[in-house]
């Protein structure tokens, strides 16, 4: 890991992040906006998938997916830039690694949704309760993304080890 940190700290990306005092705060703002788009949209999708807010047509929640992807894209780019801007802090931080683990779990869960739920979702009654597998996928999504949010906020405070 030391070789990675050394290489990144001498990279052009690292220099770019540090050359202007406003780069980091602007990235924080964009990261927060991305998180708001991602989690705000997923909250509606997952709560409906979990069987709540049945007044919302289950298929209509798909209209929020572009916002999820935009939010995730913003967070992916800014998160990468955070890592490149301060690799020593992030690679030594247990909260960062748990956060990345939960992002991985959320990604696997999204694939599970895409291949198991998405193909049959249009056959469901628009305002009916959802099957058990949909509820499990929804709660795994909500739990993992809540954990990502929590750990992201705790990274400055958890430390290393």
* Of 146 and 161, more confident: 146
pLDDT value for 2: 86
Query: What's the mean pLDDT when you consider all of the chain?
Result: 94
pTM for this one? 0.90
pLDDT tier at 161 (50, 70, 90 boundaries)?
A: low
Give the pLDDT score at 158: 84
Domain ranges in the chain are: 2-158
pLDDT at 67 exceeding the cut of 60: yes
Q: What is the pLDDT of residues 31-63, one digit of tens each?
A: 999 999 999 999 999 999 999 999 999 999 999
Q: In terms of C-beta distances under 8 Å and separation of at least 24 residues, what long-range contacts does 48-54 make, across chains too?
A: 48/130, 49/113, 49/117, 49/130, 49/134, 49/135, 49/137, 49/138, 49/141, 50/130, 50/134, 50/135, 50/138, 50/139, 50/142, 51/129, 51/130, 51/134, 51/135, 54/127, 54/128, 54/129
pLDDT per residue as tens digits for the range 113-151: 999 999 999 899 999 999 999 999 999 999 999 999 999
Lowest mean pLDDT among 1-15, 22-36, 79-93: 1-15
């Amino acid at each position: 890991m030391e070789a990675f940190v050394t290489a990144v700290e001498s990279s052009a990306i690292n220099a770019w992040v540090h050359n202007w005092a406003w780069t980091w705060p602007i990235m924080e703002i964009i990261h927060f906006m991305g998180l708001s788009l991602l989690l705000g949209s997923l909250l509606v999708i997952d709560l409906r998938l979990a069987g709540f807010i049945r007044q919302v047509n289950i298929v209509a929640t798909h209209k929020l997916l572009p916002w999820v992807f935009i939010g995730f894209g913003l967070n992916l780019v800014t998160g990468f830039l955070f890592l490149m801007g301060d690799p020593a802090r992030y690679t030594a931080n247990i909260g960062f690694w748990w956060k990345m683990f939960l992002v991985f779990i959320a990604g696997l869960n999204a694939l599970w949704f895409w291949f198991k739920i998405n193909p049959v979702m249009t056959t469901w009654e628009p305002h009916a309760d959802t099957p058990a597998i949909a509820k499990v996928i929804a709660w795994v999504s909500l739990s993992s993304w809540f954990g990502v949010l929590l750990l992201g906020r705790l990274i400055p405070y958890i430390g290393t080890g």
